[in-house]
Every structure is written in structure tokens, then in C-alpha cells.
Amino acid sequence: MSTTRNLWDKSCREHVESRPLTADAQADLVVIGAGFTGNSAALAASRRGASVVLLEAERVAHGGSGRNVGLVNAGLWLPPEDVISAMGEAAGSRLLSALGEGPRTVFERIETHGIDCEATRKGTLHLAHSAAGYAELKKRCRQGNRIGAPLRLLDAGETAARTGSQAFHGSLLDPRAGTIQPRAYCTGLARAAVEAGARLHISSPATRVERGDGVWIVHANGHRVRAKALLLATNAYHRDLAGIKAPHYVKVAYSQFATAPLSPGMRERVLSGGEGCWDTAMVMSSFRLDREGRMIIGGVGNAAGPGAPIHANWARRKLRSLFPELVDLSIEFSWQGFIAMTSDHIPKLVEFGPSAYAAFGYSGRGIAPGTVIGAAAAEALLEDRPEAVPLPVQSSHSERFRSVRGAWYELGATVNHALPTRLRN
């Protein structure tokens, strides 16, 4: 395998003009973090005629937005009834409805702004790794159908025909969903925001936030940005920022490994329908193809940490167990990112001051929820309408034992990946 490289860096065809902050500025809205949430907020606010300053410590899509799997899923990781149980009937149903339309929102943004991001709306497959996993998918299908989601339960035969793998007991097809090149999509959102009037500043880490004379003052690169409203959209890549309490979440690593392109014959047999996939295992894994026909295998674990050799060996074994005919393909790319996990797996929107929100905690579902919640948060902040966001605005959110739990996730993934890969039984 070559030196660790992110495939999305190589294949991104989108570009946005940006430069560091070099002078004081004023705006209606200042956004910190140029990922899915921040770029979506900047685009929505600019299209409403508001002035926007978007600050990014590194480059656009530096964090999870430029490192994730690229599955544009509907809803949340949790089954619908669990969401309603955690949030209540009214709030849970509202969030499920909004995020059920999340993929449509994403693909509409792509079409409207001509974003070149390998958009493929062929659905996703949630794969049963065991008989118990298939029973769980039956439950999810019933619950989804009950709220109007067009989910279809597939048996082992149809799942094998769609994936090209005999490893699964069945699957749940969501035709609303699809796949994208995530860095390209995020960069395209930023480009669209700049074209709409937003001022984007990369290499401009915010270091301090304060409030004075009825406005927010954000310090970055030795300069000040004054704005009526503030959105913190750093998610799992939050840095020390004086003046506000850091968002609480558990930081979980997720790594991916991409092969050389499949041959034309292989592409006729493996994921020929273009679906993106993930499984029901406790230590989840995912796989999909990109535009060039590379197989991308992903799983929980840090491919740049102490367990890196274990995770890399797991990827090779996983590929062999799922698709024996791909065993001779070399792995040419590997990279990792971080997920902001919450205990209940529900995103959070915390109001930490007047006209100031922090949005975070997508628990591995950042693309559609980030797009939806970012745009809604911009509307809510600019119009003082918190009800515009399909998520309750909280005054605070706390997660206990964050570092310990993050280390526990990594240990569990490393131990699981060190064990022999189990085939279907």
C-alpha cells in the first residue's frame, strides 16, 4: 500500500477561491467551520441577502466532510421509533420528516449549483451481517414504512445479486439515498456560497469569541469579525476557542481503504447498480465504488494510530471475504477522519448566547443532516425563529467520560479487527 493518502483529495473536481482573513470585517452572520454544516449555512444565508463571513482554520472540507464515506442517507442511524422515544412524538416526527427529505435536498443543491461530485442516486443497502441483523432490518423496514419511507426488504438472493457478495443474509434498500464524492460536494457548496456573496477565509482559525455592543466578535489571524449572529460548525474538529464552552461529544475515528479500479468485468458483477452499503455489525463497516470503479472499504478505527497495521490488515481480509475475485487488487489509498458521536445518536443544536448556535453530533450521518440543519440554522439565526430548525434548540449538552469512551471505541474496533473475519453462517 502506498503512503497514506485521501482518495477524495485526488478525485475532487471542484474548486473554490478563498484566502486568509487579513483585515477586520463585519457581517450579519459569521460561521466558524467550512464543512457540510457551515457551507450549507453560508449558502442559505447569502441567498437570503445576508452578509456572511465564513472562517476555516485549515481548508474547505478539512474535517470529516472531506474524509467520510460519501453515503447520502435519509434519517438517522437510529430506527424511527427510537428517535421518537428519545425526543417525543412531535419533535421526533418533525426531525424524521425533515431528514427523510435530506437526500432530496442534497441532490437538489448539487443540480442547482452544478456541483461536480460523482452524484449517484441509486439508493443504499443496509446489509445484514447475521440472522439477528436481518431481524433488525425487518423491524427497521416496518417502522420506516409506517412513517412513509419507501424502504424495501431484500432477501439474501437479491442482496447477493445487487452487491456481488454472498456474505449477507439480506438487506434494506432505501431508494431515496445515494452516494457522492464528499470533498467535492462540500467544496461545491462553498463555491456556491461564495458566488452568492459569502466571504470565505481559509487558514483563519478562530481563537476567541466575545460579545460586545450587542454583536459577536470573533478573533482570527489577529483581526476581528463583528456579526449579529454566530454559527459554530466545527463538529468533531473543534479547536480551543476562548470565550465559549466547547461542544460535548465523543470523538470516534473512522478509516477507509480504496483499491485500484475494478476491471470492466468485475464492475458488471460487483455493485453493478451503484448502491452504497453499510452493515449491521456492532463494529460497523461500509463499502462502495467511486466513479473510477475503486472499491472503498471503511470501518471504525484509526488507520493513523497505534492500531494502524491491524486496521489495514482487516481491510484486506474484509475485501477478500466479501469479494474473493477482488483479492489481487492493490489498496492504493488509506485515510481516516473523526465522527462526533452523541450518547443518543441524535444531532445537537445548542444556543450558547443570543443569536449564537453550535451544531454538532451527527454520529456518522453528516451529509444530509449537515446540509439540512446548516441551512435551517442560518434562517433561524437571521430571523430569530428557532422553530425554523427541525431540531430542538438546547441551552446546553453534556457528554460524560468523553475521552474514556473515545478510547474504548478505538480499543473495541482494534480488537474486533484483529480477530479472523467471519463469513456468513
For the entire predicted model, the pTM comes to 0.96
Residue 301 pLDDT grade (very low, low, confident, very high; cuts 50, 70, 90): very high
pLDDT digits (tens, 9 = 90+) for 158-170: 999 999 999 999 9
The C-alpha cell 437570503 sits at 48
Residue 424 lies in a domain: no
Least confident of 2-16, 54-68, 272-286, 301-315: 2-16
Collapsed DSSP state (helix, strand, coil) of residue 201: strand
Whether residue 362 lies inside any domain: the answer is yes
- Given pLDDT bands bounded at 50, 70 and 90, which one contains residue 232? very high
Evaluate whether residue 2 is within a structural domain: no
Comparing CA positions, the residue from 375, 385, 377, 381 lying closest to residue 348 is 377
Asked whether residue 358 is domain-assigned, the answer is: yes
pLDDT interval class at 283 (50, 70, 90): confident
The chain-wide mean pLDDT, for the chain, equals 95
Alpha carbons 300 and 414: distance in angstroms, whole number: 9
60-114 tens-digit pLDDT: 999 999 999 999 999 998 999 999 999 999 999 999 999 999 999 999 999 999 9
Rounded (5°) CA angle 174-120-326: 90
What percent of the chain is modeled with pLDDT above 70? 98
Among positive and negative, which fits the CA dihedral 131, 132, 138, 140?
negative
pLDDT of 296 over the 50 cut: yes
Report the domain count for the chain: 1
Q: pLDDT at residue 421 above 80?
A: no
Per-residue confidence (pLDDT) for residue 77, from 0 to 100: 86
Band of the pLDDT at 2, cuts 50, 70, 90? very low
**pLDDT band at 390, cuts 50/70/90?**
very high
φ and ψ of 367, to 5 deg:
-70, -65
Q: Tell me if 253 sits within 8 A of 241, measured CB to CB.
A: no
Residue 24's pLDDT is what? 98
Rounded distance between C-alpha atoms, residue 155 and residue 140, angstroms: 15
Of 48-52, 145-149, 319-323, 406-410, the least confident: 406-410
pLDDT tens by residue, 200-215: 999 999 999 999 999 9
CATH of the domain at 243: 3.50.50.60
Closest CA relative to residue 201, chosen from 308, 347, 58, 87: 58
What number of helices (H) and strands (E) belong to the chain? Answer: 12, 19
Residue 250 lies in a domain: yes
* Residue 423 included in any domain: no
394 pLDDT more than 50: yes
Residue 326 belongs to some domain of the structure: yes
Would you say residue 425 has pLDDT above 50? no
Of 330, 321, 323, the C-alpha closest to 267 is: 323
Range of the domain at 72: 7-418
Evaluate whether residue 169 is within a structural domain.
yes
- The residue type found at 158 is E
The per-residue pLDDT for 3 is 46
